Structure 1
Amino acid sequence: MKTHNISKTMDQFKHLHEKVKEPLKKFGITKPTPIQRRAIPPVLKGKNSLLVAPTGTGKTEAALLPIFSQYVEKDTENGIKIIYIAPLRALNRDMLDRLQRWEEHLDLDIQVRHGDTTQYQRRQQALHPPDILITTPETMQAILPGSRMKEHLKSVRWVIVDEVHELAESKRGTQLSLGLERVFRLAGDFQRVGLSATVGDMEKMSRFLVGPEREVEIVNASSTEEMSIWVESPMPTESDAELSDDLNADPSTIARIRRIRDLIDEHESSLTFVNTREASEILGSRLKFWDSDFPVSVHHGSLSKDYRISSEDEFRKGGVKSIICTSSMELGIDIGNIDFVIQYMSPRQVKRLIQRVGRSGHKIREASEGVVIAADPDDVIEAGMIAERVVSDWLEPTDIHEKSLDVLAHQIVGFTLDGVSDPEKIFEFVSRAYPYRNFPSEEFFEVVEQLQDQGVLWRDDGEISRGKRSWKYYYTTLSMIPDIKNFQIEDMVTGQSIGTLDEEFVIDKAEPGVTFICQGEAWQVVEIEDDKVRVEPIDDPYGAIPAWEGELIPVDSKIAEKSGIFRKHVKNALADGEDKDGILEDLESRYPVEKDALEWSLNYLEDQDEEAYIPTDDGLLIETYKDFAVLHVPLGTNGNRTMGQILSALLTTRLGASVRIKTDPYRIAFRFPDKPDPELIETTLRDLEPDYIEPLLEKILKKSSVFRWRLLHVAKKFGAIEKDADYSKISGDRLVEAYQDTPLWTEAEREVRLEKLNVPVVKKLLESLENDEIEIETISRGYNQGPTPIGLPILNELAASGELVVPERAEREILKALKRRLKNEQIKLLCLNCLDWSTLTRVRRLDEKPECGNCGARLLGLTPKRGREVRKLLEKERREEKLDDEEKHRIKRFKDTANMIITHGKKAITAMAGRGIGPTTASRILRKQPETEDDFYREILDAERQYARTHGFWD
């Protein structure tokens, strides 16, 4: 294998065919980009190639131009000659727009085929195949067995796979690798060209593209030398505090939003990346609430296609200055020139930060530029370590789904639909794909047997053949993406959406009274209505069940270790008596982090040092507080999840009572039935030998909800459970019992181990403990001390203000949130005296004794925010016209609100602003004459809870 490094600038367009060079001149393209200079020669020679470069640097043309040159010289056949595969339909659409200008110049027919392609278009493609077919991995699977399309695919000479890095780490990529071998069976060897962003292991990526045996060249034009990235975290100002009530957020959040707003204003066109869909909606809504005309839009996978297209078009035209997006914008959708990238909170991975910031700076070959806006001291440190790793060219390893059995099951059936009945022949083609290069034949035949047992395949005299169920199974499981319904979680105290729960959690566990963790806080289910789960916060930082965190990007163990090394550096400096300015100056020279953010993190570690012990990469801390304990250990997301599950199981066994856990990349938190002994945790950890890990995990996994959820979806992909099966009628215990010791079980366990666990890093830690290379410090915190500063974040997620909520303060924080929500509720008042004045305003803007702005009367009533029905009914009453019972009831209710307001003023309006609280309930609350303001709001909260629990039963 050869690797092409940076070469001297030269015009490589001269090697292209004249029919290709002429249109380039008409398009105004006169000079190749770096990736085009390096890629055109090997691709033009017909070599399989992996092209690695940032998005927006011309990778697509680097592949297509030399392929077009070959095409115009060699084209003699009918049928599809070039397949362009991209992971998203949006990329398909984008590619069609970019390629259509070549059609008339090269006499090409270019068409798209994906899930939205009409039946008429599909038939036309079957009758008159295009020269170039742009498609998705799933749609390629769909056309492979078709009798006409199968014939057209025999003409394939080139396949381009876009965003290889994105596909390689998912089952979609594993499925594609086998699909390409099915095309190879039809067409013979064809040239493969992969387009990839910067990755940690280019050789593995190239092998994923072509298989273990074929020749491949890596053309690398990626570089982080011209990438400018820094981390900052703005401190709140007095004006931020003044604005916090208006935006219903605390001052620190406002400071970050203000900085993002300023950065967007300072640049022509920027992308603002966040890590979750919820975060994009929250950030977008707050920017818009601040200024409804602010030129931003939101973009993520849950939005409609039309809305996403509209956002992209507006951005290209300059009507929108920034798109607030998730990973939906990491891929190479052409949205024009981008001069800056904002990452809100740590990107959690080096490769994501490179890919995201790499989307900027291609207008005139300027450097890519971006900033990370961190949210708390841990976030600052993590983001700083990631930004520093960008400079040192370290990336997380690429994890490919190797030997995936549900993918294999689908493809075995696909081969039979293609007309292959010899299992040995199928196995030969399967082994050509990189993920199955070392696949044992006995496991292959176990999958065949499983499909036979399910009635999906028939096996006779050593051959396998399709049956009636084969077609349905194949076409209903084309996608390897699990079909998961999400339920919105609504905080009934604030009225805000706080996240989502997946279908499995809601069906299996979420019922009124159940408690769970979401976003680091404990919630209790109050009601489930359609696709919404209403909850209330409770004074319990763990609750009974950890909620699913499907969208959370895992932090690699190496990044967590680097954060531990950062802490150690600060710890040693403090121990040596270095002054604060000197430490900051040293840190500034080491890490691309702005001084104020570094000082915030330094203060955080200084506070920890004064109170306890700073945990590091080789110095662990176990702290206990009340019935909680925290083990500070930097093994990354999956490492700490693995260690946490094992320790929880062992401690539960020793105590004979359940020990709950919550983990993050730097901590494992436990909740015990009583006050724990820190030495018990240390002893349990030290007694744990590396050889014990595997047998312990085998026992733990089958009881875990994560494993059962995976097993359910694997069973679905195998065809063992119908795609539209009612999951609420499926027992997790019966599922485990039914599929133990089957390929379904093996696959579910493989998936969980790859995506959710990190056994090697846990074993390495245990070996270091055995060799006395790691020290452990223990501390028991008193009731009045609270957890240590570094222990607090996992016991209660850091609130946006930077103020931490410890258990005994939880109710106060709940009431504080309720007050904020009610003060910001919008209400409409109508004067009962003159009927000529009304106002639509927020509760907080009212006087204590509100008056009519027209006649000065205080007889004001609450009306619906929209419509004039109440006013019309009152006018009808004054004209002494006949009223029906419903109309009389509505007038009485309005007058009751007016009597309440004239008696109690703004307090009555505040009460009636509560969800489901009318004049009767408000009157009951006020008659109790709550002694304090908190008592008053506590009564409102109780009334809201009662409404949430009972209104579904009202007639």
Structure 2
Amino acid sequence: MNQPIAPKRETPSRIVDRYFASIGWKPFAFQRTVWRAYRDGYSGLLHSATGTGKTLGVWMGPLLKWLQENPDQTKWNPKRPPSARVLWITPLRALAGDTEKSLRAPIDALGLPWTLDSRTGDSKQSAKARQLRKLPTALVTTPESLSLMLTHEKLLPQLSQLEGVIVDEWHELLGTKRGIQTELALSRLRALNPDLRVWGVSATLGNLDEACRALMGDRSQDRVKVVEGFRNKKVKLESIIPAKMDRFPWSGHIGTKMVPQVAKLLESVNSTLVFANTRSQTEIWYQHLLKQKPEWAGLIAIHHGSLDMSVRRWVEDGLRDGKLRAVVCTSSLDLGVDFTAVDLVIQIGSPKGAARLLQRAGRSGHQPDAVSRLAFVPTNAMELIELAAAQDAIRGGRLEARPLLEKPLDVLAQHVVSIAIGGGFSSDELLQEVRTAFAYRSLTDDEWQWVLNFVVRGGESLEAYPDFHRVEVLDGRYQVTVRRTITNHRINIGTIVSDTSMQVKYLKGKTLGTAEESFLSKLAAGDKFLFAGRLVELVRVKDNAAYVRRATGKPDTVPRWMGGRMPLSSELSDALRYRIEQASEGKLVGREMKALRPLFELQSQWSVLPRSDELLIEKVKTRNGYHLFVFPFDGRLVHEGLAALFAYRLSRLRKQSFSMACNDHGIVLQSPTAIEVEHAVTAGVFATGDLVEEILLSMNSTEMAKRQFRQIARVAGLIQPGLPGRRKSANHLQASSNLFFDVFTQYDSDNMLLEQSRREVLEQQLESSRMRKTLQRIEASRIVINEPPRVTPLAFGLFVDKLRERVSSETLADRVKRMQEDLERVAANSS
């Protein structure tokens, strides 16, 4: 334990000032505001740009308050530390270790007799057992681990003594089921201690007031403060622009031809984070950088959420200590604290949102007065427009809002079982408590009774099956007494639902990480794939693990993980349409737009560049059939729904079959016969109409709802993934959830989980609310229909996406290259 850094008679405020001076900082006004508010019993939300001192802005509040209450340092006894006092909730367990180190620094420097520990899925069982006996003074944990603690009745007295809870990176939890899980856990902690202080820490949020209300629940706003720190940190954005810009861009080649330029940039700085949008991209880029600079072996590393904890910690330590030149990573390093060694961020491909771009830029220059520097590497030419649009949105302060979820009953059912295990509850008391959570403020009596009936009897259709009678009612209290039910519930607590994962191990036992079963099940012994930055060969699959050995040569494949799709945000869509309108007027502002001049000129020559109040439709006939290209520029998820809707409406006007594809910029419909779009526009193909009903008719909504229901059934406890080491296959889980879906549909049509699955498909998978706004905008727009003689630059990427259905991945790049060359020859002859 370090000696206190200040004389015994100094005030707590002076002690903290001296600590800041010892690390070369001076407290900011917003930090002092939070400290005073915490001292005076307020809860609140601290909103400040990444790298501006948010962590110390909230953490020093509890420390200062304890110093004020315990001024006599002679009475501080490290052997008798204060009891549980502060809970720090982090959204990612990968951040827990880094967060713990950052929180420990001022404790040690001030010589406080506090204990600090973390509790996540990565924690050792011995540490968890020790914490069940006595919680540390401060505990870093995750939403899942907090919910798990609530199932242990013997922890409740200690949790009731908590003075404060700090929720880090609240913007990452907001609008997700993990955020709802956090809201419910906070409602329980507030019930245990009505005076509990709750503080959120957030950056890059567009709906700050809603975010605060979601965190605070029904707490009186008189005792809540929203504190603004630095809204705009100094950020320097630059682009790495190819020497020759494609006039016919397409997605799929992931920009690796830019590796030499990226490597040259890495040579000019000491430490860099290279962000890719998917885990598969990190594996590929890491290998390409090593191939370009083999002497960097050991100086560059890879980091993503599927790597083993030991690998991630080694990378984080190397980054923090300045031993690594670069780390290729995903959002696993989007968040966190004190990677001060990083002086450059490189973003591979469009981040699809201004807030995400700003968040990632803030990982460099991670100090309040430092400039954050980000270099952008486009994976195709169109992404340069997205970067220009993102810069407009950042300058205008138009950051993305996080839409909130409304009372998901699967999360509530899981929480109810947790509370029943952790000592039990009475119906009226828990209902009152649950309604204090913002997401459940409008929970009806009927919905509550349905949830209780579901966890006690299994609902209307499962009453005959004892396995679904998880909760019992004993003397008016809802409790769980069956040991097997308790064990299964604790093992499967959480709302993160993905494909079943399998461990990837060397034959000698070292674990590299996890890959999804759906990928590994398609491999045969001897197949080579990239994983954890290595080329490995599959030897065998046994006991829910894939055993591999090091390999040489070229990979046969790269793992694909779920969750890689990031749709274009509505804010970025608006800015993108404005930038294209500027280009249509010949106004090319910035290096990115000027670099695209040849593409814009050719697009204008062959067709048009649409204005913001126009919808461009291009009709093109090729040897593959008749193509209709539509350009709303509203993001992939919206376009997926619109494509199905338009095809449905067109086929009702005239019997016709369609195939389709879409990207973030537009839609392509293909038919063997001519598409009479002019008549369709007059007939209302773009009308809002009975949108929800037509969406359900136009898409395989039942199948989509079944896929969504699997996630809901898993969270609600209807299906169990199994015990560690004996996990059930993805096919087994899907078959089980399909069975429940069919049974409920036939015998329990009012089942509220069925309705939830349909609602989640509409809002989360199809973004139906945003789709309606897009149609309303189109209805008010001028429709521009062109018939260019060939595929235009804007349409080329969509044409390639449609081509993927018929061309194998091995030959797609060669086929696309030939098409680009043919179009370039035509363009050269026509200019």
Q: TM-score, normalised by structure 2?
A: 0.79
In the other structure, the counterpart of 1:757 is 766
Q: In the superposition, relative to structure 1, how do residues 50 and 15 fare at CA in structure 2: closer, same or farther (>3 Å)?
A: farther
Q: In the superposition, relative to structure 1, how do residues 336 and 558 fare at CA in structure 2: closer, same or farther (>3 Å)?
A: closer
What displacement does 1:711 show? 0.8
Q: CA contact under 8 A between 2:668 and 2:799: conserved in structure 1?
A: yes
In the other structure, the counterpart of 1:369 is 373
- The farther-off stretch of 437-446 and 149-158 is 437-446
CA distance in 2, matches of 1:80, 1:161: 16
In the other structure, the counterpart of 2:782 is 775
What displacement does 1:702 show? 6.0
What displacement does 1:254 show? 5.9
In the other structure, the counterpart of 1:721 is 719
Letter in 2 for 1:670: L
The alignment status of 1:642 with 2:649, answered yes or no, reads: no
CA distance in 2, matches of 1:624, 1:735: 46
Letter in 2 for 1:619: E
Q: Where do 5+ consecutive residues of structure 2 fail to align?
A: 1-9, 71-79, 246-251, 459-467, 504-513, 525-539, 547-559, 723-727, 819-831
In the other structure, the counterpart of 1:587 is 588
In the other structure, the counterpart of 1:220 is 228
What displacement does 1:693 show? 0.4
Identity within the alignment, %: 24
Instruction: Tell me the secondary structure at the aligned position of residue 794 of structure 2.
Output: coil
In the other structure, the counterpart of 2:388 is 384
What displacement does 1:570 show? 2.3
CA distance in 2, matches of 1:201, 1:807: 40
Choose the corresponding residue for 2:265, options 255, 263, 266. Answer: 263
Choose the corresponding residue for 2:449, options 428, 433, 445. Answer: 445
Choose the corresponding residue for 1:567, options 580, 584, 594. Answer: 580
Radius of gyration: which is bigger?
Answer: 1
CA distance in 2, matches of 1:164, 1:629: 42
The alignment status of 1:68 with 2:63, answered yes or no, reads: yes
What displacement does 1:337 show? 2.9
In the other structure, the counterpart of 1:280 is 282
Q: In the superposition, relative to structure 1, how do residues 811 and 471 fare at CA in structure 2: closer, same or farther (>3 Å)?
A: closer
CA distance in 2, matches of 1:233, 1:133: 46
Superposition map of 1:59-98 within 5 A: 59-74=54-69, 79-98=83-102
In the other structure, the counterpart of 1:413 is 417
Choose the corresponding residue for 2:569, options 535, 552, 556. Answer: 556
Letter in 1 for 2:598: N
Q: CA contact under 8 A between 2:342 and 2:364: conserved in structure 1?
A: yes
Superposition map of 1:730-809 within 5 A: 730-731=734-735, 734-740=739-745, 741-768=750-777, 770=779, 773-780=780-787, 785-797=789-801
Q: CA contact under 8 A between 2:94 and 2:312: conserved in structure 1?
A: no
Q: CA contact under 8 A between 1:350 and 1:386: conserved in structure 2?
A: yes
Partner deviation per Cα, 1:77-102 (whole Å, 9 max, x = no partner): 96411111112223221232233342
In the other structure, the counterpart of 1:477 is 492
What displacement does 1:288 show? 0.6
Q: CA contact under 8 A between 2:322 and 2:341: conserved in structure 1?
A: no
Q: In the superposition, relative to structure 1, how do residues 433 and 812 fare at CA in structure 2: closer, same or farther (>3 Å)?
A: closer
In the other structure, the counterpart of 1:617 is 612
What displacement does 1:44 show? 2.9
Superposition map of 1:126-137 within 5 A: 126-137=132-143
Choose the corresponding residue for 2:237, options 229, 237, 244. Answer: 229
In the other structure, the counterpart of 2:401 is 397
Superposition map of 1:442-591 within 5 A: 442-451=446-455, 452-453=457-458, 454-458=468-472, 464-466=478-480, 468=482, 470-485=485-500, 550-571=563-584, 573=585, 583=586, 586-588=587-589
CA distance in 2, matches of 1:364, 1:734: 55
Letter in 1 for 2:693: P
Q: Superposition RMSD on alpha carbons, in Å?
A: 3.7
Q: CA contact under 8 A between 2:414 and 2:716: conserved in structure 1?
A: yes
Letter in 2 for 1:318: G
Choose the corresponding residue for 2:149, options 139, 143, 151. Answer: 143
Q: Where do 5+ consecutive residues of structure 1 fail to align?
A: 1-13, 238-248, 489-499, 513-527, 533-546, 574-582, 799-804, 821-955
Letter in 1 for 2:336: G
Letter in 2 for 1:485: T
Instruction: Tell me the secondary structure at the aligned position of residue 370 of structure 1.
Output: strand
CA distance in 2, matches of 1:506, 1:283: 21
CA distance in 2, matches of 1:689, 1:147: 56
Choose the corresponding residue for 1:56, options 51, 58, 66. Answer: 51
CA distance in 2, matches of 1:760, 1:554: 15
In the other structure, the counterpart of 1:690 is 688
Superposition map of 1:903-942 within 5 A: none
Superposition map of 1:628-667 within 5 A: 628-652=627-651, 659-667=658-666
- The farther-off stretch of 328-337 and 757-766 is 757-766
Q: CA contact under 8 A between 1:702 and 1:736: conserved in structure 2?
A: no
CA distance in 2, matches of 1:385, 1:169: 24
Partner deviation per Cα, 1:268-325 (whole Å, 9 max, x = no partner): 2222212111112211111110111234222111222222222222223333222221
Q: In the superposition, relative to structure 1, how do residues 653 and 715 fare at CA in structure 2: closer, same or farther (>3 Å)?
A: farther
CA distance in 2, matches of 1:529, 1:129: 40
Instruction: Tell me the secondary structure at the aligned position of residue 582 of structure 2.
Output: helix
Q: TM-score, normalised by structure 1?
A: 0.69
CA distance in 2, matches of 1:654, 1:168: 42
What displacement does 1:363 show? 4.8
Q: CA contact under 8 A between 1:163 and 1:331: conserved in structure 2?
A: yes
What displacement does 1:749 show? 2.6
Superposition map of 1:206-355 within 5 A: 206-214=212-220, 215-224=223-232, 226-236=234-244, 253=255, 256-294=258-296, 295-355=299-359
Letter in 1 for 2:283: E
The alignment status of 1:44 with 2:39, answered yes or no, reads: yes
CA distance in 2, matches of 1:654, 1:671: 16
Partner deviation per Cα, 1:630-655 (whole Å, 9 max, x = no partner): 22222223322222232233345556
Q: CA contact under 8 A between 1:678 and 1:779: conserved in structure 2?
A: no
Letter in 2 for 1:230: E
CA distance in 2, matches of 1:809, 1:95: 47
Choose the corresponding residue for 1:205, options 192, 195, 211. Answer: 211
Q: In the superposition, relative to structure 1, how do residues 174 and 32 fare at CA in structure 2: closer, same or farther (>3 Å)?
A: same
Partner deviation per Cα, 1:869-924 (whole Å, 9 max, x = no partner): xxxxxxxxxxxxxxxxxxxxxxxxxxxxxxxxxxxxxxxxxxxxxxxxxxxxxxxx
What displacement does 1:779 show? 4.0
Letter in 2 for 1:83: L
Q: CA contact under 8 A between 1:169 and 1:401: conserved in structure 2?
A: yes
Instruction: Tell me the secondary structure at the aligned position of residue 339 of structure 2.
Output: coil
Q: In the superposition, relative to structure 1, how do residues 809 and 279 fare at CA in structure 2: closer, same or farther (>3 Å)?
A: closer
Higher relative contact order (CA 8 A, sep 6+): 2
In the other structure, the counterpart of 2:73 is none
In the other structure, the counterpart of 2:822 is none
CA distance in 2, matches of 1:367, 1:21: 24
What displacement does 1:705 show? 4.4
CA distance in 1, matches of 2:113, 2:635: 54
What displacement does 1:682 show? 3.5
Superposition map of 1:775-924 within 5 A: 775-780=782-787, 785-797=789-801, 813=811, 816=814
Choose the corresponding residue for 2:709, options 708, 711, 729. Answer: 711
Partner deviation per Cα, 1:556-608 (whole Å, 9 max, x = no partner): 2332233222222222x2xxxxxxxxx4xx422xxxx31xx423423222212
CA distance in 2, matches of 1:819, 1:611: 20
Q: CA contact under 8 A between 2:583 and 2:609: conserved in structure 1?
A: no
Letter in 1 for 2:423: G
Q: CA contact under 8 A between 1:616 and 1:634: conserved in structure 2?
A: no
CA distance in 2, matches of 1:603, 1:201: 39
CA distance in 1, matches of 2:606, 2:515: 37
In the other structure, the counterpart of 1:539 is none
What displacement does 1:765 show? 4.1
Q: CA contact under 8 A between 1:80 and 1:155: conserved in structure 2?
A: yes
